[in-house]
Amino acid sequence: MSKKVKQVFFFLVTMTLFFACQKKFDKFYERPDTLDQPIYQQLQAKGKFGQFLKLIDKAGYKQTLSTAGYWTLFAPHDSAVTVYLTQNSIASVDAIDSASARKIVTYCLVYNAFKQERISDFQSNLGWVENAAFKRRTANYTGVYDAVNLSGTPIKAIASNRNTIGTFSYVDADNNNKHIPIFETGFMTGKTLTATDYNYFYPTSTYTGFNVADAKVVEKDIAAENGVIHVVDRVITSLPSIDQYIGSNPKYSEFKKLMDRFLVAYVLNQTVTQNYKNIYGTSTDVYTKVFVPNIAFSPNNENFLKQQDNDAQSDTYTMFVPENATLLNYINTVLLEHYPTVESLPVNIIYDFMNAHMWRTAVWPSKFASTFNSVGEEARFNALTDITDKKVLSNGIFYGTNKVQDANVFSSVYGKAYLNPAYSMMTGLLNLDLKFQISNIYQNYTLFLVSNAALNAAGYRSDPTVSNNVNEQWRYTPPNGGADVVGLSALVRLQRILNMHVIPGRDITSAIAPGVAQSYSGEFIKFNDNQVVGAGNGDFGTTANVVDKKTAKNGTVYYLDKILQFSDTLVGRHIQKLGTTPTPATSQYNSFYQYLLNSTIFNASTREILQVASGSFYTFFIPDNAAILKAVNDGYLPGTGTAPNKVPLFNPPLAADKEKVANFIYYHILNKKNIATDGQESGTFETIFKFPNGDPSSIFVNNSTPNSIILNDMMSRSANVIQASSNQLSNRCTIHLINNYLRYN
């Protein structure tokens, strides 16, 4: 009996201790009286959110906002909801269905709790960045929606949640949540934005320094157990993405047609399909709406670049979209000038057109001129006259326009080739290295265009059947016979030819008067009476004729019937030709040539000049016969007889005289410098001659006036280029006749 009593006693003591401990435990962990109520209860207690609370109930978010969490809620007061109902002709909150209520509530609900002091700070991967954020991720997202595929068949679709890279455009665990724009003083000041920028988008709202979309925050930083409440004076409805806005607005239907035709694909999403089937018990497939990777961003992606998890807080996309009439006019007059239909356009033209209208950053109204798109061009719109529609959307800024962004690739000299299929070979060559240089509208260029037919006639063609590598598809068949040059070797020839057709830094508006121009390759071309030649045209006996001329934003384009040829001929052979044409007795180059021919630095068989390397740039200043005779009588070239009646001794027997001839010739050759009478480049330039101690010699070239070069030697003597007989083109060299000889001593 005593044992049983002891057991009962022990049990009673244990239970007493248990309940005593439980009371202490409950008291320690019970909700403190001083703790703020959850968001839902706070709204109830305030007494002015009855209508919004009904929306929360309809949306199914009462439980969420009544329990633990970490939210920011932008709550419209009753007056704001009343205005919303009136503006939208809704009788009462009771008439709003649950789906619509959910859109309103979830878009006002932001992940994480932010007081005003933090709401402009960017949550970077490395920590807070002050005054760098103007958006926050909301609980709102679109999910699966009804769409029509490219064949016109109704389907279920879901938006991409990443910008397309290769075949990657979707992450399964990401709902593609929408973001809400917040215009707070810290961010606005940090970005040097003002009320004018804000009111450009929201002209009927007052900027206060704490605005959410078109609403004002009228009471801030209301603490709750599960977050923060900011009271706003308007109902903020869920904003569409750029893609959704374009698709829903008939003013941009032609732009949408381009997007659908060239930029969009619907790709089966197996994960979402399976989830959708499990939830709804259907056999329906779900497709991801995917944009091509060739454009700046996917207009349906709500996540910005996702280089950091929260980078959509700090920046956003921008898109300028021309209205239908504006777009059609541009397509018909510019893009289709040489193409019959939009479908026949190369797809790269569409990509370039689209990218010209897309910015991977926010373009604020006051910063059009200083914000550059994905191809490095500023927004070329007048914010007051060219913008007909402006919206801050969930994933970007949208501007509807009455003009087209005048893209460099279409408005520059490059565009004249790019938009004409007859010049596709030249366009392909320009794309290798020169596309972005010559499409820069702030740098002048002159472009000599040659058609596919002209290149074919010169022996050049492309054969796509020989290789998948476009650089290996080029072929050259010498017109006068010989083995084909193929692949990269043919490409090297073509690139040299191409470079001769591009004149950087100059807009040559007329090819009628005689002139010269230095091409991108450093070689000169000549033009006169609308005929143009390169050094090789003289070798082949051809002349390129100007058959048309057009003006672009950054220069003039000449259309030629033949290509400009480069020369493989050694400069020694060209000097030989000059020295014997029309006859040796009448050529003003002859005396110099005779000294060269008999010198120790000239190979009479190959016509090579020692120290003059094939492929390098040189300029030859050759004294005319009278100047050579003066040099002979002045003792700077060997001769016979007595001054002032000495005559040249072209092949002197003495070594000292042979060296004198070599040094004389070398001093008249600029080393690695090609100069013609284009009035472009002046300065002191080295010659090939070097003094016995190795010091270089030089000539000052005054080339400041077109068609006139004055030379000053190291003895302060001068000589003039004889224009009528100069600018003789050779293999990366130019040969001039001068009226005096030059001295280094």
Q: pLDDT-based confidence at 25, cuts 50/70/90? A: very low
181/212 Cα distance (integer angstroms) = 6
Query: What pLDDT does 28 receive?
Result: 45
φ, ψ dihedrals at 193, nearest 5°: -100, 155
326/334 Cα distance (integer angstroms) = 12
- The CATH T-level fold of domain 34-139+218-236 is FAS1 domain (2.30.180)
More confident residue, 10 or 533: 533
Rg (CA), the chain: 39
DSSP string computed for 197-233: HHHHH-TTS---SEEETTEEEEEEEEEETTEEEEEES
Query: What pLDDT does 182 receive?
Result: 99
Integer CA distances (angstroms), 141 to 108, 123, 300, 301, 351, in order: 12, 21, 12, 11, 29
- The CATH T-level fold of domain 571-738 is FAS1 domain (2.30.180)
Q: Give the mean pLDDT of the chain.
A: 95
- Where along the chain do the CATH 2.30.180.10 domains lie? 34-139+218-236, 410-560, 571-738
Q: Tell me the two tokens of residue 2.
A: 């005593």
Q: pLDDT-based confidence at 165, cuts 50/70/90? A: very high
Amino acid at 376: G
Q: Which of 381, 402, 400 is CA-nearest to residue 389?
A: 400
157/272 Cα distance (integer angstroms) = 10
Query: What pLDDT does 480 receive?
Result: 85
- Give the position of tokens 């001083």: 34
Query: What pLDDT does 29 receive?
Result: 46
- For 60-121, strand residue ranges (E) read 71-76, 109-111
- Give the position of tokens 């909801």: 81
- Which CATH number does 410-560 carry? 2.30.180.10
402/683 Cα distance (integer angstroms) = 50
Laid out side by side, the sheet with 708-712 consists of 718-720, 708-712, 696-705, 683-690, 669-671, 618-623, 733-738, 728-729
Start-end of H helices in 312-423: 324-330, 347-356, 408-411, 413-418
φ, ψ dihedrals at 350, nearest 5°: -65, -45
- Give the position of tokens 């920046």: 315
Q: Which of 181, 159, 186 is CA-nearest to residue 170?
A: 159
345/414 Cα distance (integer angstroms) = 16
- Give the position of tokens 């893609």: 243
pTM: 0.89
Q: What is the mean pLDDT of residues 406-435?
A: 97
Q: Tell me the two tokens of residue 552.
A: 């672009």
Q: Which residues are within 8 A (CB) of 519 and not within 5 positions of it... i.e. 6 or more apart?
A: 499, 500, 501, 502, 503, 504, 525
DSSP string computed for 220-286: EEEEETTEEEEEESS--PPPPPHHHHHHH-GGGHHHHHHHHHHTEEEEE-HHHHHHHHHHH-----E
Q: pLDDT-based confidence at 481, cuts 50/70/90? A: confident
Q: Tell me the two tokens of residue 346.
A: 């190369």
CB 563 within 8 A of CB 497: yes
Helix (H) or strand (E) segment spanning residue 506: none
CB 262 within 8 A of CB 237: no
Q: Which residues are within 8 A (CB) of 670 and not within 5 positions of it... i.e. 6 or more apart?
A: 618, 619, 621, 685, 686, 687, 699, 701
DSSP string computed for 644-682: TS-EE-SS-SSHHHHHHHHHHHHHTEEET----SSS---
Q: What is the mean pLDDT of residues 49-74?
A: 97
Q: What is the mean pLDDT of residues 378-404?
A: 99
More confident residue, 479 or 528: 528
Q: pLDDT-based confidence at 27, cuts 50/70/90? A: low
Distance of CA 744 to the CA centre of its chain: 50
594/602 Cα distance (integer angstroms) = 11
Q: Tell me the two tokens of residue 163.
A: 């910008």
Integer CA distances (angstroms), 419 to 59, 219, 499, in order: 53, 57, 20
| 286-291 vs 264-268, strand pairing mode | antiparallel
Distance of CA 257 to the CA centre of its chain: 24
Q: Tell me the two tokens of residue 5.
A: 């009593």
Instruction: Give tens-digit pLDDT for 611-637.
Output: 999 999 999 999 999 999 999 999 999
Grouping H, G, I as helix, E, B as strand and the rest as coil, residue 12 is helix
Helix (H) or strand (E) segment spanning residue 124: strand 122-124
Query: Cα(first)–Cα(last) distance of the chain, in Å?
Result: 139
- Give the position of tokens 């002015």: 48
Interhelix angle for 655-667 vs 590-597, to 10°? 130
Instruction: Give tens-digit pLDDT for 311-342.
Output: 999 999 999 999 999 999 999 999 999 999 99
Residue 1 has pLDDT above 50, yes or no: no
Grouping H, G, I as helix, E, B as strand and the rest as coil, residue 326 is helix
DSSP secondary-structure letter at 724? G
Residue 295 has pLDDT above 70, yes or no: yes
Q: What is the mean pLDDT of residues 193-211?
A: 98
Instruction: Give tens-digit pLDDT for 542-565.
Output: 999 999 999 999 999 999 999 999
CB 744 within 8 A of CB 667: yes
- Give the position of tokens 């004389």: 664
| 179-184 vs 135-137, strand pairing mode | antiparallel
CB 233 within 8 A of CB 252: no
Helix (H) or strand (E) segment spanning residue 7: helix 2-29
Q: What is the mean pLDDT of residues 412-423?
A: 98
The most distant pair of C-alpha atoms in the chain lies apart, rounded to whole Å, by 159
Q: What is the mean pLDDT of residues 668-681?
A: 98
pLDDT > 70 in the chain, percent: 95
Q: Tell me the two tokens of residue 274.
A: 């399976």
664/648 Cα distance (integer angstroms) = 14
301/196 Cα distance (integer angstroms) = 28
| 122-124 vs 502-504, strand pairing mode | unpaired
Q: What is the mean pLDDT of residues 475-495?
A: 93
Instruction: Give tens-digit pLDDT for 568-599.
Output: 999 999 999 999 999 999 999 999 999 999 99
Query: What pLDDT does 35 receive?
Result: 80
Residue 23 has pLDDT above 90, yes or no: no
pLDDT > 90 in the chain, percent: 94
Q: What is the mean pLDDT of residues 412-417?
A: 98
Residues in the chain: 745
